[in-house]
Amino acid sequence: MSYTLWNDKIVDDQQVSINKEDRGYQFGDGVYEVIKVYDGEMFTATEHIDRFYVSAEKIKLTIPYTKHKLHQLLHELVEANELKTGNLYFQITRGTSPRNHLFPGSDAVPVLTGNVKEAPRSIENGKNGVKATFAEDIRWLRCDIKSLNLLGAVLAKQEAHEKGSYEAILHRGDTITEGSSTNVFGIKDGVLYTHPADNYILSGITRGVVLTCANEIGLPVEEESFTKKEALQMDEIFVSSTTSEITPVIEVDGCAINGGVIGEWTRKLQKQFETKLPVASTTI
């Protein structure tokens, strides 16, 4: 038996019912988060919950629970499902109301749902690296909001998959922004580069951990954008996310990065990242 978070209760999956006029279904009117669970512990849960509330505020959606209450509910969801290693997904929509582009009145109550999924760490990708492809960034201009509107990212990810790649590295014109579901980093001459956290990217929680790790190992960071041409000339490229952790990119559209060999700085960052995880989850 598996359990779902439905508003302020943990219930059997079969008990959950979502109205056909829920604005999340009709308009993508809501926000979401994904937390990685290692050895039964939620990793960077506070940061994810904080961003959840920030995203909701940006779309003028009031979450009817305190952060402490939400944290408690998510913890209970993990425990109820006896999740060891996997992903915890949760979202909130503006609620149910007759279809209308305008926000509904006060009678519409936000709908919170959450579920978990067993998912092992991507150890092989981290060890061996992955291929990527460039794709035009066709998404809207508020990528800083982790909204339910993901079609642009879905199309880019599908394009990458059809080309035999793990990730699509998005660009607006020649400027690299981020991946379809990751943040993108390049290392050149001992300096780490990544797009600044503005409205063109989602400031990833794992991105923040990476920047902390870089500081701890003495790798200088420049939060500035770089071009497609500069990307192909990087000494190292990697992507990061909650589910991808730190994944090296060894090839982009047939062009080998660093001769297809994962660089030393990326390896050092991976090792430093491991020190942040529950001991039972580490692989070093």
Beta bridge partners of 40: none
262/257 Cα distance (integer angstroms): 8
Is the pTM above the cut of 0.85?
Answer: yes
pLDDT digits (tens, 9 = 90+) for 165-174: 999 999 999 9
Long-range Cβ pairs for the range 56-59 (8 Å, 24+): 56/31, 56/92, 58/142, 58/144, 58/145, 59/29, 59/30, 59/31, 59/145, 59/147
Q: What is the pLDDT of residue 284?
A: 59
Is the model's pLDDT at 282 over the cut of 90?
Answer: no
What amino acid is encoded at 208 in this protein? Answer: G
Four-CA torsion 269, 272, 276, 277, nearest 10 degrees = 80
pLDDT at residue number 180:
98
Instruction: Return d(Cα 84, Cα 37) in angstroms, integer.
Output: 7
Q: Which residues participate in catalysis according to the annotation?
A: 146
Strand partners, 24: none
Look at residue 280 and tell me whether its pLDDT is greater than 70: no
Q: What's the CA gap between 43 and 276, in Å, rounded?
A: 9
Top-confidence residue, 279 or 125: 125
Q: Which has the closest alpha carbon to 56: 177, 130, 147?
A: 147
Query: Which residue in 169, 172, 153 sits closest to 239, CA to CA?
Result: 169
Task: Determine the pLDDT at residue 11.
Answer: 98
Give the pLDDT band of residue 1 (cuts 50, 70, 90): confident
Residue whose structure tokens are 């067993």: 118
Question: In this model, does residue 76 exceed pLDDT 70?
Answer: yes
